[in-house]
Amino acid sequence: MEETQRARSHTVTTTASSFAENFSTSSSSFAYDREFLRTPPGLLIVAEIILGLLVWTLIAGTEYFRVPAFGWVMFVAVFYWVLTVFFLIIYITMTYTRIPQVPWTTVGLYFNSSAFILYLSAAIVDATSVFPEKESHNYNSWAASSFFAFLVTICYAGNTYFSFIAWKSRTIQ
């Protein structure tokens, strides 16, 4: 009986130590895909981040709470800005190769198409809510945010196209 316990403990120790070795080896080396930023989807993601930041900072710097429609624009702009930064980190660090269980092409397609649709609605709401106010800087900021919101919408439309092509061909991104 004692020999059986020793054999089990040795097996458990070996299994645990091999797990620790595999874990420490795989997590200590981070991959970095510098070439991703030179691809059309990578360039579009960088443009989405920069232009999206402009959209929500131009609105946040005003008294946007006086016009309820700008709450929707702020929600869409900040929400998709944070998620786009998250996806950029995933693509640059090549995290998608470490989690093969996630269908990344499908996730990318859903993300970009939802961002396109919601950003289009936010850009339209933004444009229709712009009105001049006396003695206020809000008009210029709101007009500029509307312009940049449409540019971000175009970027998400482009990434939706590239995501659809990748999804259709079933390539892993």
Q: What is the pLDDT of residues 42-100, one digit of tens each?
A: 999 999 999 999 999 999 998 888 888 999 999 999 999 999 999 999 999 998 889 88
Answer for the pair 72, 128: CB distance below 8 angstroms, yes or no. Answer: no
The pLDDT confidence band at residue 1, using thresholds 50, 70 and 90, is low
Name residues whose C-beta falls within 8 Å of residue 2's C-beta, 6 or more positions apart in sequence: none
| Segment 108-140, tens digit of pLDDT | 999 999 999 999 999 999 999 988 776 667 888
Per-residue buried b or exposed e for 91-100, using 16+ beta carbons within 10 Å of the residue's own CB? bbeeebeeee
User: Is 14's pLDDT higher than 70?
Assistant: no
At residue 33, the pLDDT reads 83
Q: Which residue has the higher pLDDT, 22 or 43?
A: 43
Beta strands in the chain (DSSP E): none
Q: How far apart are CA 23 and CA 58, in angstroms?
A: 44
Q: How far apart are CA 42 and CA 146, in angstroms?
A: 24
CA 103 and chain centroid, separation: 15
Q: Is the pTM of this model over 0.85?
A: no
Name residues whose C-beta falls within 8 Å of residue 20's C-beta, 6 or more positions apart in sequence: none
Q: Which residue has the higher pLDDT, 162 or 67?
A: 162
